[in-house]
Amino acid sequence: MNVIESVAEMQRIALKAKGEGKRIALVPTMGYLHAGHASLMHEGRRRSDLLVTSIFVNPAQFGANEDLDKYPRDMERDMKIAREAGVDLIFAPQPVDMYPPEFQTWVDVERLSLPLCGASRPGHFRGVTTVVCKLFSIVQPTLALFGIKDYQQLAVIRRMTADLNLPVEIADMPIVREIDGLAMSSRNAYLSPENRIKALCLSRAIQSVLESYRGGERDVLVLDRNAREQIAAVKGAEIDYLEFRNGATLELQQQADDQTLLAMAIKIGTTRLIDNCILGEDR
C-alpha cells in the first residue's frame, strides 16, 4: 500500500488505471480511522480493482471557530487500518496543494445544504462538495462510498453527482456503532470518560423514538418531545438541532412515515456529535 501526497501523481496513476479498464473505488475520509471507515473500505475492496482512500482534513469545510486545528490525526495508525481493510493507495494531499492561493472555484448544492448541519455550520457543505468534486476529478473513481452516519452529506453529494453528471456511482453504508450504541466517529476521541457515557443520549433518543414509532405513534410533536426528553435527562448535553424531516427532500414533517429522517446534532461539553435514523428502517 502506497501513500501519495502529490495531486498530479495521484491523477496520473488514476488515469492510467482507468485507461487499463480498472474499476477505481474511492473512500473519502478525514483520517483517524475507525471501524465505520473500514466498513466502507471493505465494500470498496469487494467492488473495485483499485481501492483508494483519501485522508484529508479539509480546511474548507470547517468554520472559523471549529476544530480544524485540533482534529485528531494519526497517520501510522490510519495506514495500518487501511492496509488491513485492503486499501491499495492512500491519497493524502497537503491543504496548499488542494487550495493554492489562486483557488476560487466552489461547488454549491443550494437547497439540500441549507437545513440541519448546513444551518449550524454555514459554508460547511460548500467545502464538502467542493473537495469531493475535486477528489472525483483527481482519483477518477467509478464508485465512491459514503456513510449514512453523515446523512445530509450523502444527500448533498448524491445531488451534486446527479446535477453535474459526474460518472461516479455513490454507495451508502450503514452506521457502524460501538457495542453500547454510540455511533463511531473520529470526534469521539474528544470525549472524557464521563462525557463518553453522556454521549449515549443520542442513540438512546433514537431508540426511544423508534420504539414509539413502531408502537404506532405518527405525530412528530410527540416523537420530538420523546427524543428531547432523552437529551434533557443528561446534564451537559445541549441540543444543537433535533429535527424530523423527509428523508429525500429534507423538508420538515409534521406526520411521520417510514421515510422520515430523525437527525440530531448534540453537544456533549464542547464536543458536537451527530446521529440519525430513518424511522421505517430496521436497525
Q: Which is nearer to ligand AMP, 37 or 134 (CB)?
A: 37
Q: Please state, as a whole number, how many other Cβ atoms lie within 10 Å of the Cβ of residue 249.
A: 13
Query: In angstroms, what CA-CA distances link 26 with 29, 85, 88?
Result: 10, 13, 10
149 binds ligand AMP (CB under 6 A): yes
Stretch that binds ligand AMP, among 175-183, 197-205, 248-256, 259-267 (CB under 6 A): 175-183
- Total number of residues that touch ligand AMP (CB under 6 A): 17
Residues 6+ apart with CB under 8 A from 165: none
Specify the 3-state DSSP secondary structure of 138.
helix
Specify the 3-state DSSP secondary structure of 150.
helix
183 binds ligand AMP (CB under 6 A): yes
Consecutive H or E run containing 235: none
Stretch that binds ligand AMP, among 17-25, 133-141, 181-189, 210-218 (CB under 6 A): 181-189
Residue 250 to residue 125: CA distance in whole angstroms: 15
Task: Looking at residues 193 to 252 of the shown chain, list those that interact with ligand AMP (rule: CB under 6 A).
Answer: none
Please select the residue that binds ligand AMP; options are 40, 200, 262, 279, rule is CB under 6 A. Answer: 40
146 binds ligand AMP (CB under 6 A): yes
Q: Which is nearer to ligand AMP, 50 or 182 (CB)?
A: 182
30 binds ligand AMP (CB under 6 A): yes
Consecutive H or E run containing 272: strand 271-278
Given a contact cutoff of 8 angstroms between Cβ atoms, the answer to whether 13 and 88 are in contact is no
For residue 201, the minimal CB distance to ligand AMP (Å) is: 17
Options 34, 37, 42, 124, the catalytic residue = 37
Pick from 114, 98, 14, 117: nearest CA to 60: 98
Q: Which is nearer to ligand AMP, 4 or 131 (CB)?
A: 131
Q: Which is nearer to ligand AMP, 135 or 256 (CB)?
A: 135
Stretch that binds ligand AMP, among 16-24, 32-40, 93-101, 251-259 (CB under 6 A): 32-40
78 binds ligand AMP (CB under 6 A): no
Given a contact cutoff of 8 angstroms between Cβ atoms, the answer to whether 52 and 89 are in contact is yes
168 binds ligand AMP (CB under 6 A): no
64, burial (CB in 10 Å: exposed 0-12, middle 13-18, buried 19+): exposed
147 binds ligand AMP (CB under 6 A): yes
Given a contact cutoff of 8 angstroms between Cβ atoms, the answer to whether 238 and 267 are in contact is yes
Q: Is-catalytic flag, 37?
A: yes
Given a contact cutoff of 8 angstroms between Cβ atoms, the answer to whether 128 and 109 are in contact is no
Stretch that binds ligand AMP, among 2-10, 111-119, 177-185, 238-246 (CB under 6 A): 177-185
176 binds ligand AMP (CB under 6 A): yes
For residue 82, the minimal CB distance to ligand AMP (Å) is: 12
Q: Please state, as a whole number, how many other Cβ atoms lie within 10 Å of the Cβ of residue 60.
A: 19
- What amino acid is encoded at 62 in this protein? F
150 binds ligand AMP (CB under 6 A): yes
Specify the 3-state DSSP secondary structure of 180.
coil
Q: Which residues are catalytic?
A: 37
Residues that bind ligand AMP (CB under 6 A): 29-30, 36-37, 39-40, 146-147, 149-150, 173, 175-176, 183-186
